[in-house]
Amino acid sequence: MRRFVLSVAAAACLVSQPALAEMHCLAPAERAAFDVQALRSEMMVLATGCSDDAAYNAFIERYKPALQANERDIAAWFKHRFGKRGQSEHDRFVTDLANAQSSAGTRLGSEFCPHNGMIFQQVMALLDASELPQFAAGQNLVPASLDICAEEVAQAPAPARKVVAKKR
């Protein structure tokens, strides 16, 4: 019964979600790490916007080891992908994610807290941290504007070919 209630509540949250990032360049484990990062960010935005620090702190405390491991995985991904710029790109992503989620909350106005606040109860109802990635994936919290896979094209443009006219 609990699973059914969680499923129905999660589906209700998805009704008004904006376009979501595809992140096709990520392996399933990498995508799961980004989904958990987005969940953590959404929880922080909710705690700040809805003045519910106690629920956020309970979430962080309950899942601390899993969240710390997830953070290490995300940091390693950014370091591998961006080298020396890895930390600054990671920081930029986390900030942009929180800003995008906060903007989505602002668009909901006074409905933001009642509409999204149930996520605290849902995540705390999970049996353990092993369910966190699947739960996070079902929340669809990474906006399309933050699709890190789309950045690959922008960062690696094809080299321009120099055309030299031949004299006859």
Determine the pLDDT at residue 21. 56
Using pLDDT thresholds of 50, 70 and 90, give the confidence band for residue 166.
low
Domain boundaries, the chain: 2-20+27-147
Determine the pLDDT at residue 35. 95
Over its C-alpha atoms, the chain yields an Rg (Å, rounded) of 19
Number of H helices, E strands in the chain: 9, 0
Determine the pLDDT at residue 62. 97
Query: Which residue, among 121, 97, 119, 120, has the nearest Cα to 38 in the 3D structure?
Result: 97
Specify whether the backbone of 140 is left (phi greater than 0), alpha (psi in -120 to 50) or beta. left
Instruction: Report pLDDT digits (tens) over 14-56.
Output: 333 444 556 778 899 999 999 999 999 999 999 999 998 999 9
At a CB cut-off of 8 Å and minimum separation 6, what does 60 contact?
A: 67
Instruction: Report pLDDT digits (tens) over 116-137.
Output: 888 999 999 999 999 999 999 9
Using pLDDT thresholds of 50, 70 and 90, give the confidence band for residue 5.
very low
Using pLDDT thresholds of 50, 70 and 90, give the confidence band for residue 76.
very high
Residue 99: count other Cβ atoms within 10 Å of its Cβ: 15
